[in-house]
Structure 1
């Protein structure tokens, strides 16, 4: 792969870029140090800032759209940096949050980003007619229910102070860190002047969600070549500083061919945790590439097995506990991931400051699993359906181990594989007994969207009153120490009820071209191309 050797060549590359330096499908063409090619496993469903139901979509969305702040976990502490907001103030009551938008913050069409855009976004998400998965993020705002929706006649606790200033009030005092992460960082602002006249129930299917030409982030949308690549270009008017990288290509690359792309230098980095990691069987090969820096770090997410509570025969927790005993999770970690993972029995990762280290995984014990099944009156002639999405080869292989383990305990299992959109549709329809999935959530320990009754991602369809009570209590406490005590209890209850069976918390495995420097070796850093610089003359 030819690299530009001097500044004159780079200047020439800029001219080439204006006409698309890397044509579709010609990834071996010369790249300048102004272009980055990232690779992820699967295509996005859409680019909706308020409703894309996969991490593949959000990987692209966060380049083009922003929230009020940016969150980053540093030394086990959450820190916040300006995004659309230039500054923010937290009231002494821990209920009032005032954001001042950067005076130069603008949409990609040149219109200013205003407080009205923020109000419009929050009103849209909280409208019961809107299809969105951001409701749980804003549910603490005054006037909203636990789903983040406005009851009939309800008033949203948001006030526009001026064109660039907005005040948001919560129902009760809250932990400011939780609010800034959930509302400030996780809610991407929509352009009111583009979408303001679209009926809320039509937003999810609006053409804008597949062609988001008006964002506010450091990169602008150019095109999406279906199932091939997404192209983004530098926002030269970005208010927080023009990004170093001129153009970004996010390619759809199956895990089986990702390493070959790295070897040919047709890809600069893997997209990251859960959506574009290096297959474990290729990890040693990647570590030996002289032009690649191979990095690992404790990831924020986990792989798990859903158990469908809508099925009467799966509602007895002795059955779910039997499954937890039956699955040899350590074997999965050792055999499929070469030990690059940690076992746990809850949805809060070991790297999280709210992790309860006293909650241990149920040990592998086939005999105990069968005993629990007998006690629960299990029908050993029944065959369960285990749904598995394709794309993540480790997850696909783990399904075979799970089937063998469960059969050894007396549970018959059929595996059905499908692409990710089909898989999610089946979960939403409750068309499964068990299903494999992954999750990487925020640092804040509130997991209501997954584990509260009626939660947006409660694909197990479980309903445990005590769990709901603890989750509701946790978001209403502003003191971190008192919150920790609540989430300690929640994790203990979770391990007892087993609404899902956590398989493991995997370490992230990422490849980064050595020609790029100033890349943070964590999940957030792999998204932030603005900071990247280059080693002169590298290939």
Structure 2
């Protein structure tokens, strides 16, 4: 479909934009000088109201340790700071840390904090807040979803299990410096999304210092997190309507130019109507069809960008332990045709979640070309019970899934697998898939797999099963675990490429999840909104303090 229209002509290659990625730079020792300082002069007062669309239903949990959706991630990004964050092109850039250093053997990560960061109540953000946040997240009662990365800190497991009162690898060096020492090398320790990120949102010790980790979700602060350190302050949440924020004039990266932000919670069709009418300034996850239809609208900018996530179905491996059944599901679906129908070809088929950067892409994997006959053969070999009905769930409102699911259902029926479609509201979906796993198949999309191949480890290591980790499939393969540990343990790109080739081959054969594609991101942006930088980073608001509105 290339060349059909401007959207098609502007398809952007991930390899060109992501390139070697920051992973290559972090694979060797070095100092990351992230010197960005606030101007001594106060910027002009913020003004205007920014309206952004988000999913209509999300679990109203403002605990940064329990983040599992894009809406929750955006809320935390607006309210809180991390040591570092990721820019448009997936490079690490300053946040609460102004500099960082990685040791030669990639076991020590040292961060120098800014001296001008304050909480929304005026208290200074300190190294003690960083230490407090990580200690809290390592407690078993906190059940932090980032545990897969945090468990790699030296002494974290002993601290988590109560065998030690301290995590030896979490060190307060001085008033401005914190150091993390890992139990084993990991050149990719800084990469990942909310569920697999070592860069926690930092919490205020002066407010949560006495909080019970087991009851953190019910703490008044987590119901209304009015004191953060981010670009915006939390003001209000009205279920099924909006989340409201107000500009933080003391933000350490510069006072925001826009006075208020509303995340309008609406289904995609409503978001689209609001964008076209001018009520909404930014719509994430626009469908390719809508992007094509609106690309010539002078009131809008339709911005396609390459994604680094994966559109996939988690298979509960405890219920489907025979990989032949999972392979049969792959062969049963015409993924290429589905990509054209659902995304108008805006993406590429993938056959594992190891999809980048460029040095970690492989062309010798089984491509699972559409082959219903082969699917039936595999099901016969596995003695599949044709009378069995299985359930497919997803979070309601995900347009691509809602287009693809009926086709998936029909094509699996043609090879002898009966699928019941069972979408759930966001909170119920998270409960069924993450917090209290009880599902057959769960469809989702996103992630940051293209940043570094180790990102996949959070989702497939046998030590990171949900609810404590991010492995929703409950897949376990000790040989794969060893490969992940070896791959993250060397800074040599040739060695890493060879190791992750084996990782990709293993995932490709075992199919713990059903792999579909990595799709492009399409943003709908009002022509009145300036400063937005679309790119492979799905968290487009990373520089929101620089955005401005021109609605005069």
TM-score (norm 1): 0.86
1:439 aligns to what?
A: 446
Deviation for aligned residue 1:151: 5.5
1:495 aligns to what?
A: 508
- Equivalent of 2:460, from 442, 446, 451? 451
Q: What SS does structure 2 have at the residue aligned with 1:160?
A: strand
Q: What is the CA–CA distance in structure 2 between the aligned matches of 1:36 and 1:137, rounded to whole Å? A: 34
Name stretches of at least 5 consecutive residues in structure 2 with no aligned partner.
Answer: 1-43
Q: What is the CA–CA distance in structure 1 between the aligned matches of 2:156 and 2:487, rounded to whole Å? A: 17
Q: What SS does structure 1 have at the residue aligned with 2:453?
A: coil
1:55-76 Cα shifts (integer Å, max 9, x gaps): 21011110111111122363xx
Matched-pair contact (CA < 8 Å) for 1:144–1:154: no
- Equivalent of 1:112, from 112, 124, 132? 124
Within-5 A mapping of 1:267-278: 267-270=280-283, 272=284, 277-278=285-286
Within-5 A mapping of 1:17-416: 34-45=48-59, 46-72=61-87, 74=89, 78-145=90-157, 149=160, 152-153=163-164, 155-156=166-167, 157-175=169-187, 178-179=189-190, 186-270=199-283, 272=284, 277-311=285-319, 314-349=320-355, 354-416=360-422
Q: What is the CA–CA distance in structure 2 between the aligned matches of 1:130 and 1:306, rounded to whole Å? A: 25
Q: What SS does structure 2 have at the residue aligned with 1:396?
A: helix
In structure 2, relative to structure 1, the CA distance for the partners of 1:399 and 1:511 (3 Å cut) is same
Matched-pair contact (CA < 8 Å) for 1:342–1:506: yes
Name stretches of at least 5 consecutive residues in structure 1 with no aligned partner.
Answer: 1-13, 18-31
Q: Which runs of 4+ in 1 moved over 4 A?
A: 148-151, 180-185, 350-353
Q: What is the CA–CA distance in structure 2 between the aligned matches of 1:154 and 1:73, rounded to whole Å? A: 40
Q: What is the CA–CA distance in structure 1 between the aligned matches of 2:355 and 2:422, rounded to whole Å? A: 28
1:10 aligns to what?
A: none
1:489-515 Cα shifts (integer Å, max 9, x gaps): 111100000101012211111111112
In structure 2, relative to structure 1, the CA distance for the partners of 1:320 and 1:481 (3 Å cut) is same
Q: Which protein, 1 or 2, shows the higher relative CO under an 8 Å CA cutoff with sep ≥ 6?
A: 2
2:8 aligns to what?
A: none
1:391-425 Cα shifts (integer Å, max 9, x gaps): 11220221111111111111122222221221221
Q: What SS does structure 2 have at the residue aligned with 1:56?
A: helix
1:357-394 Cα shifts (integer Å, max 9, x gaps): 43353111011111111111112222222223211122
Q: What SS does structure 2 have at the residue aligned with 1:389?
A: coil
Once superposed, what is the RMSD of the aligned Cα atoms? Answer: 2.4
1:193-228 Cα shifts (integer Å, max 9, x gaps): 111101111113322122111111111111111121
2:546 aligns to what?
A: 531
Q: What is the CA–CA distance in structure 1 between the aligned matches of 2:433 and 2:519, rounded to whole Å? A: 23
1:217-249 Cα shifts (integer Å, max 9, x gaps): 111111111121111111111122112222111
Matched-pair contact (CA < 8 Å) for 1:51–1:132: yes
Deviation for aligned residue 1:180: 6.7
Q: What is the CA–CA distance in structure 1 between the aligned matches of 2:398 and 2:514, rounded to whole Å? A: 18
Matched, 1:423 2:429: yes
1:325-358 Cα shifts (integer Å, max 9, x gaps): 0011112111122111211011133566533343
Q: What is the CA–CA distance in structure 2 between the aligned matches of 1:385 and 1:203, rounded to whole Å? A: 33
Q: What is the CA–CA distance in structure 2 between the aligned matches of 1:223 and 1:437, rounded to whole Å? A: 28
Q: What is the CA–CA distance in structure 2 between the aligned matches of 1:184 and 1:493, rounded to whole Å? A: 24
Matched-pair contact (CA < 8 Å) for 2:149–2:189: no
Q: What SS does structure 2 have at the residue aligned with 1:97?
A: strand
- Equivalent of 1:514, from 506, 515, 527? 527
Q: What is the CA–CA distance in structure 2 between the aligned matches of 1:454 and 1:93, rounded to whole Å? A: 24
